Structure 1
Amino acid sequence: MTETSRRPLTLYPAIDLKDGACVRLRRGEMEDATRYSDDPAAQARRFVAAGCAHLHVVDLNGAFEGRSANAPAIAAILDAATVPVQLGGGIRDMAAIEHWLDRGVARVILGSIAVKAPALVREAATRFPGRIVAGIDARQGRVATEGWAEISDMTAGDLALRMQDAGVAAVIFTEITRDGMLEGLDLDQTAALANSLSIPVIASGGVGEIAHLAALREVARDAPGISGVIVGRALYDGRITLAEALEVLGAV
């Protein structure tokens, strides 16, 4: 077994917030949401107690509204969590970036502004090295913005290269058509993206069973830029346990 095949991938359990509660969407549709918990802070504590070393939090309302809309829930998660938290959704200006980094967020995820205000991303990455991540959400390869409501003409690959040049610490890649569908990650797009970049790529969208994580681990042997994976619905539904996910990813 090579060193690459033994390299652990980071598990990022997802806490997606809508109207103050933990939910999961299907294909990014706000009206197709399943509510899982009314206590996001308690959910964060459960993930940490189970051995997760990172948390991935998204303000879904904020992504559509263009501003933080679940601030009390996010603050409660930050107060409860004892591990690094990365946060995205509705963070569209320097004041918001500074606010959440000062509040204790480890890394801020910038999505829509990566397309619409790349100069701001570059400025943020310069001011906060290692703490700015680009969230690249694509529908069949084309980048989506404004909470996935708008599809641009830019490809995920083109945006990823621009974000790397801007100095972001990592890229989160989500194929929207798979998100919440439990049918597996888009391994081909993820691997191609990882092999085109020199910064880490975090996979997202579609994990539904432990075999999907095993497949990602295998693909990562030839695409070492893949550094981790975000898992949501499969954890909440009990299709995958945190213990087995961490084991398959080599994180324990």
Structure 2
Amino acid sequence: MILYPAIDLKDGKAVRLLRGDMDKATVFNDDPAAQAMEFVAAGCEWLHLVDLNGAFAGEPVNAAAVEAILSQTKTPAQLGGGIRDMATIEMWLSKGLARVILGTVAVENPDLVREAARAFPGKVAVGIDAKDGKVATKGWAEVTDVETTDLAKSFEDAGVAAIIYTDINRDGAMQGPNVESTAALANAVSIPVIASGGVSSLEDLKALNSCGAPLNGAISGRALYDGAIDLKEALELLKA
């Protein structure tokens, strides 16, 4: 299982939100590229980037910060937030991004996900953000009537590289991930699933790693910044 350190970008800075609320942002680093290099120095295999402003705006907003990260490290990075057309997908992949994450468009324009996954094999993931079992879009500002499992299953034959599943009620709350619903989703589809939201201790990582489902990985943010999880120690634990 891969541990993906998260760098959430708001106004050019690395922040963490509480349950997706943009008014409840804590700035952890004014220099996201420096933050990325700290994670890389600790030995991470991937970076997870989110353009928070972009998720609300529907287009890239923190591009300069993302480009700075991509220019300073060769560690593969995935990015979500504001990626809603083929031109933006192509732009990011041409700049060296390893994988784009499509969230809102997965609900509003699933054909784009399919088209992108065909055009860029292994480089397109679907972000499914859930609130009480329903999919939320537009930076979690809107909750739809779409069931998370139904959306995931609809992409079974699309060739997407992964599903990033976030339980919004757990995100940034340091209360542990929703292991049960994550495992249920991972067991319902053949697409690799990455757990996100609430991963705040080594015990959480152990629980996800032994949840009875073949998870691809887990994303952690606040716990790494707060020191609740030591990244080196966590990476060694997952390798063992």
Correspondence list, 1:234-245, <5 A: 234-245=223-234
* CA displacement 1:1-26 (0-9 Å, x = unmatched): xxxxxxxx101000000000000001
1:234 shift after superposition: 0.1
SS in 2 for 1:165: coil
Partners of 1:209 and 1:56 lie apart in 2 by 18
1:162 shift after superposition: 1.1
Structure-2 residue corresponding to 1:209: 201
Correspondence list, 1:1-252, <5 A: 9-219=1-211, 222-224=212-214, 226-250=215-239
> What TM-score do the two structures reach when normalised by structure 2?
0.98
Structure-2 residue corresponding to 1:4: none
Partners of 2:85 and 2:91 lie apart in 1 by 10
* CA displacement 1:205-244 (0-9 Å, x = unmatched): 001221111111121xx212x1100000000001110012
Partners of 2:237 and 2:155 lie apart in 1 by 30
Is this contact kept in 2: 1:48–1:82, CA < 8 A?
Answer: no
Structure 2 residue identity aligned to 1:184:
G
Note the residue ranges of structure 1 that are not aligned, 5 or more in a row.
1-8
Partners of 1:35 and 1:182 lie apart in 2 by 16
Note the residue ranges of structure 2 that are not aligned, 5 or more in a row.
none
* CA displacement 1:161-191 (0-9 Å, x = unmatched): 1122322111000000000001111011110
Structure 2 residue identity aligned to 1:231:
S
Residue identity (%): 61
Large movers: runs of 4+ above 6 Å: none
Structure-2 residue corresponding to 1:3: none
Partners of 1:143 and 1:248 lie apart in 2 by 32
> What TM-score do the two structures reach when normalised by structure 1?
0.94
RMSD: 0.8
1:145 shift after superposition: 0.1
Partners of 1:73 and 1:35 lie apart in 2 by 14
Partners of 2:48 and 2:204 lie apart in 1 by 19
* CA displacement 1:110-164 (0-9 Å, x = unmatched): 0000000001111000100110000000001100000000000001100001122
